Structure 1
Amino acid sequence: MFFSTLTKVRLRRAALMLLLATLSGCSTITLEPLPAGLTDQPPASWTDTVRQRQNLDHWKLTGKLAVKQPSDSGSALINQWVQHNEDYDLTLSSAFLGMGRTRLKGSPDFIELTLADGERYQSSEPDELVLAATGWRLPLNQLTWWVRGLTAPDGDYRLLFNSTGELVAIRQSGWHIQYDRWYSASPELPALPARITATKGEKRVRMAITDWQPLKP
């Protein structure tokens, strides 16, 4: 009986030490060193900036898109990208890919893709359907947030700012989103991204935005 009780005590102590070690390990997050001249401390105006960009949930933009990845690379015109809350209507055209004018219409959990010949495909996996049709792996759901200079709702993130308090980069879900230039559409709107480069491993997505327009709900 004594041996049995002593064994239980030792087992409980071992379990407790393992739990404490695990908790200690979880409480320490290793962050990469900050690049020179950048900080992860947001400016005092950051909360207001985020609120303004979140309020811009009905918008349209035009520009260019370029994708580079091991399997396939190319570029396309963004004829228009119309966003209403979580619903998007994106039209691309690319002679390089031979896909002509392609329309992507959907939401985070559904997409309808229409090719230049009128053939339509639907899927509950937007990224996978785009990959199958174009050869490009685009993080569509996250891009609808990153393109406004916001973090996506899912996934941990880290923000990087320069000495003037301007957002330089977002690191989220393994992606590094760099903001190279900003667009001032009007005094009533916050500054919006004009050139974005998103990289993850050997994948790179670049967007150059030529026009931003707010839309009425």
Structure 2
Amino acid sequence: MKSSFRFLAALAPLLLAACAPQQLVRNKGDAASLAQQVAREQQLANANHWTLQGRISITNGKDGGPGSLTWTQDGDHYEFTFRTPIIGKSFRLTGGPDNALLEGLDGGPLQGPNAEALMRHALGWDVPLDELRAWVLGVRMPGTNAELSFGNDKLPSLLQQDGWAISYPVWDNARQPPLPTKVFAEKPPYSVKLMISTWTIQ
């Protein structure tokens, strides 16, 4: 699998450049912005059953590549399907709090205690999937300090937490509460860029 992603690494900069965020307005939150964010987080506190589809690019500074993503969250259980159209392969990551299974590898499936440890072992990627579950909704991960900046629409434009910087260039304001449609998370050398085409929340 690593060799496949090395092949895709040369293509990744093209997608990253195309999806580079525009200069974002980043205002320190006033009382109204912070109150609106707290209300959003309360509305989404029980949003544990959802599916998103879109495009994703992940890199560790050396290996990585673009593809399409379907992410289904069912309570504490998840399923990620990552497809790489250039080489015609699919990878599937499923699991829950105590186990994870990664399928689609050249050497056969791998199983481990959790998704983060499995991806770190198999791919050399240090991606905080538990935190991403919150960040992808545009909310803070409970339990650790976070710093927020807001755009003129009083929605988060930058969330800094656990050493990661998460940018939100585009929001779907037609939804209530609004949901992000672009999520860019960076902690050098790691980068995750997600462009969401559809949200389905139960």
Give 5+ residue unaligned stretches, structure 1. Answer: 1-34
Contact 1:93 1:101 in 2 (8 A): yes
| Counterpart residue type for residue 59 of structure 1 | W
Aligned to 1:128: 117
- Of 38, 60, 73, 1:83 maps to 73
TM-score by length of 1: 0.72
TM-score by length of 2: 0.77
Secondary structure of 1:142 counterpart: helix
CA RMSD of aligned residues (A): 2.5
Contact 1:108 1:141 in 2 (8 A): no
Contact 2:146 2:159 in 1 (8 A): yes
Greater relative CO, 1 or 2 (CA 8 Å, sep 6+): 2
Residues 112-151 of structure 1 mapped to structure 2, 5 A cutoff? 112-115=101-104, 119-151=108-140
Secondary structure of 2:41 counterpart: helix
2:48 is the counterpart of 1:65: no
Contact 2:170 2:182 in 1 (8 A): yes
Q: CA deviation at 1:37?
A: 5.1
Secondary structure of 1:138 counterpart: coil
CA spacing shift, 1:205–1:190, aligned 2, 3 Å: same
Percent of aligned pairs with the same amino acid: 28
CA spacing shift, 1:110–1:99, aligned 2, 3 Å: farther
| Counterpart residue type for residue 61 of structure 1 | L
- Of 83, 93, 112, 2:83 maps to 93
CA spacing shift, 1:151–1:132, aligned 2, 3 Å: same
Aligned to 2:181: 194
Q: CA deviation at 1:44?
A: 3.1
